[in-house]
Structure 1
Amino acid sequence: EISEAVNALTAVNNRLDDQRISIRDTDRSMDVSLRAARSNEQQIQAMLRDAQDTQSVARNLHQSVMKFQQQVEEMLKKGISITESSYTTLPIGTLPSVEKPLPECPEKYIAVGKKCYRIESEHSKNWFEAREICQLEESDLAMPEDINVLKAFLYDDGVYTGIDFWLGASDLDQEGSWRWLSGKEMHHNWDELQPDGGNRENCMEIRPGNESRLHDYYCYNKQNFICQRDIGPFSKTEESPALACPEGFFQLETQCFRVVDNQMLYWGDARSFCRDQGGDLAQPQDPQALRHVLLTNNIYNVWIGAYHAHGSDKNWTWVSGKEVTDRIEEDAINENSYYEDDYEVEYEDDPEFCLRMKTESRPFFIKSQCNEMLSFVCQRSPRPLIEGVDSTRFDSRQIPPVAHVVFKGTIKVSHQGQ
């Protein structure tokens, strides 16, 4: 019995040893698992901290991008060109590319506000010549929506200090009613006591100064000017205003003409009359077409806008200042001739001889003394069509359609009286 008891106790002890070993192994396994769990916890905490740091970086980057976009928008509103030096350096990371188109202006034009401008500060032209140059560039004289933006660009940095510029506004159509060339009324503030020129100063200029110094001035004074056209992707497509000739004028090709045959004037007085109408004596690009109109209406001799100045070495000159070279041969127009001067008439451009147009037979252009009294033809550019204005009438007579004949003949000068 004792032996059986010993064997039983031994068996129990062996089972206890097995359980103790199993518990020890389990404890070791749990210890390994605990250490692994603690390591994973540290990794998770590290990942969490990294995520928090990344989130903070992303927020800072977002704020920097928003700030940069605000700077870009402010610069675009002020018309400042964006260069590489204008970009903000972000504290972390690289600035992501943001596709934002820059203002597109043609060569020699600069983006100012919402328009493209070309500042002509080297060559001086009268108001009409300046507009013609702008139109050849598919632009027009400047009509700024905000005169202060243009003024700041011109004068704040001192580059154009002391320079006056023609702008695209006048009261040529109606004295005292100032309009932009687009046809819109001009609402900008004038300089003190401006406009003050009455019916003699009919074109607008901007002068340097601390205020928006807008003045009326003589349209034929030569000075610098500003051309304007739309900015590329930022501009809305605006339909060009319909153009028409003012009342009393008829259209021939791209210009408006008025034949004045109910009074005869000296060449200089005829020119003054035309200038008061917002134009000048006619400078026809197609003499045959104008001759056809005159001849159809039984008009045979008229003054046109060309002259030869006293003592001038130049060829004959159009009133615009251009030499008469396109249609009139130089050797013929400068033909020597003799005139007896009954009396002398002095004009602004000091012409010695003036050009008249004869319609019934060749030669069509005749060298004449300026103190002869003749009918005459005025010419001006068409104006924007304003509702309610009939711009098709011409002194109560209907002008027949004119065939656009290209004049290829030789224009000669005959002596007066021949």
Structure 2
Amino acid sequence: MTKGLDLHFPHQTGFLSLTAAAVSHQFVNEAKNWTEAQSHCRSHYTDLATLYNTDDVNALTQLGSPTGSAWIGLYDDLIDSWRWSITNSSFYGPGETEFRNWNVPQEPNNAFGQELCAHMQSDGTWNDLPCASAFINFVCYGGNDQYVLINQGRTWNDAQSYCRANYIDLPSIRNATENEKVQVVANGNNVWIGLYRTRTWSDGSDSSFRHWNSSQPDNLNGQQHCTAMSFSDAGQWTDEDCATTLPFFCYIADRPTVVTLRAVVDAADELTEAEIEETILKPLREELIRNGLPNSTSLRLRKVYQTNP
């Protein structure tokens, strides 16, 4: 089924693939470690629960017990938890998203569970730091091997916003040659680069919703890589050792319905995939959910092409 959708944004047209499925949750009151819980959910349901908003939190707390905690599907993938700020897949060749130049063996150490953003040191090696650190200069990538040093101490997120507004993005470093170019431009400064760490949902969902307790995640003793929801704390989340045994939440999804939407987007400049995700797909998904589609609704960009003004 195809529907026309005018988003009123001139001159780009894209096709969005909309997947919607009814989801029901199940509380399994059996103590299992996180991996065992994941296997149980995948065998008997669909997967461990993915949460998209506070409505999901409230629904799960009503299903659970009055006290204690239960596993949900969010976890820290120690092998594949780092992502680059530039999300355009055509920017990377085979293996180019995996290049790393950490200051080993010390880094990355994710001290206190809060070091989720990467910066380059003066020797060209990388270190992880809290993203809110405001004393780090940064380099922006402007395309065509153009790198620009910005001598302003900003948080990682503020640096990313500045680069996206004035250039293309923070640099995604794909190989040793690019690493050296950024190091030369940095001119001895410690600088933010576009690498950041994010937890992953068991089912591969792109939900960015988080409901952490104010003191969490703390990655106590460097061993807490799985996420539990507390029943007695308004459903807030804590990070826990994955070997801990807890009850857990699964979900089951009915057969999904896929709809193709043709979106006419008016924009003064050509939008990157990251800008389309942030300014169009996320608000559109939220609006669709407000109008009755399930929280499992997802939007994916299939194609963008430019039309005449």
TM-score range, shorter chain: 0.3 to 0.5
Q: Answer 1 or 2: which has greater helix percent.
A: 1
Instruction: Report the TM-score when normalising by structure 1.
Output: 0.26
Q: Answer 1 or 2: which has greater strand percent.
A: 2
- Higher relative contact order (CA closer than 8 Å, sequence separation 6+): 2
Instruction: Report the TM-score when normalising by structure 2.
Output: 0.35
Q: Which protein shows a greater Rg?
A: 1
